[in-house]
Homo-oligomer: A and B are copies of this chain.
């Protein structure tokens, strides 16, 4: 409907179809794994990721800022998720007295036990809904495709916010 506008490299019909297929596959997979983990444990897939990353860190503890970079969520969203995990006794937050920004998240023994008990559910989901669906060469293709995307996305400069944008000025 907007293909007449100039300057934008619009997607053709095939690209639109591939983009929608990508969106559907990634959303459905995330949603499925989320439901499976939630049904087994009450955790969201992000909470599971937080516990898993903490379990692999030295002393089962990480700075909140490092945890946000690893789990790939925004700091505000992480803070919300960690608060929920803390309320349920799976994570403990510790603040360094000499550095107010340097709060740590620490995995509790109870959190570790929960993680161990649900890891088989999650691994089974990843295998059943992703790896088992693909031919061996497709798994290698996916590895190379995602490697390229990560290399590109990690090197991008920050997005600059346009203060006047919400007025709707522009393309019409």
Contact = CB atoms under 8 A, between A and B. Distances in A.
A5 B80 CA distance: 33
Contact of A153 (B29, B120, B146): B29
Contacts of A171: 116-117, 119-120
Contact of A39 (B5, B119, B159): B159
A87 interface: no
A139 interface: yes
Interface residues of A, dominant DSSP: helix
Copies of this protein, total: 2
A161 B121 CA distance: 12
Interface string A112-156: 011011111001101101110110001101111111111011101
A90 to B, nearest CB: 10
Contact of A165 (B17, B26, B40): B40
Given A11-B127, A39-B159, A169 B22 contact: no
Interface string A44-79: 000000000001100000000000000011100000
Given A2-B119, A35-B159, A120-B171, 8 more contacts: A7-B120, A28-B72, A28-B153, A32-B159, A39-B161, A117-B172, A129-B149, A130-B149
A24 B150 contact: yes
Given A21-B150, A129-B153, A149-B25, A55 B138 contact: no
